[in-house]
Amino acid sequence: MEIFMRRFDYSFLETSIPANIVSLSTIIADLRARGDFRKLQYADSYEKLRKRAIVESIKGSNAIEGIVTTDDRIRDIVNGANPVTHDEKEISGYKEALNLVHTNYEHMDLNEDTIKALHRMMEEEANPLEAGQYKSHDNMILEYLPDGTRRVRFKPVSSKETLPAMEQLLLAFYDARQNSTISDLLLIPCFMWIFFAYIHIWMGMEDYPGF
């Protein structure tokens, strides 16, 4: 797996995935096609589900970063309430980016400009100086133990390596995307895992800046 991470090679998705997983991804893709048709029949129901999905995604994703608030307050922010605290500004920015993806995904491509634009949208209220910018110094992800001690969970690529690593990650993704035998439903989460866990191009609440 370490070799795969350094090379950004997705070929294992073509040769090493169990047949039942591949079959399941095909079924999901077929259900999505049917869902696109049913959206036209049950537009109101799908819109309610979309809003609920946004609330749950905001709640879960921000909780990972230690940002926690009530479901009612998240719904208020999703419905347009002005954020007050720093945490609420983080939630509001995430909501704006998520709304854009939900409503405009058909016209968006996965590239550096899109990634930076989404990050800028997410952070411009809470962290305007860092919004849309790659990290300027090295960082590490810490784990906080029950006894109060800390240990390094993992070290992402250095700040100097971030740009070339992103270029290679995207090129590998584009190459794999052209392979009709690799399912998008498997490729996309693999890209996301490497992007967030290995490169970690922005400073976050769990980051420790190493100088």
Domain count, the chain: 2
Do 129 and 174 have their domain in common? no
User: What beta strand segments (E) does the chain contain?
Assistant: 139-144, 150-154, 207-209
Within a domain: 28: no
Report the first-to-last Cα separation within the chain, whole angstroms: 28
pLDDT at residue 19 greater than cutoff 90: no
Mean of the per-residue pLDDT values of the chain: 83
Range of the domain at 80: 42-133
Q: What percent of the chain has pLDDT over 70?
A: 91
Do 56 and 123 have their domain in common? yes
Do 1 and 58 have their domain in common? no
Do 138 and 98 have their domain in common? no
Tally of CB atoms within 10 A around 145: 9
Q: What is the pLDDT of residue 58?
A: 85
Within a domain: 119: yes
Tally of CB atoms within 10 A around 50: 13
Q: Which pLDDT band holds residue 7 (cuts at 50, 70, 90)?
A: low
Note the pLDDT tens digit of each residue in 162-191.
888 899 999 999 999 999 889 888 999 999
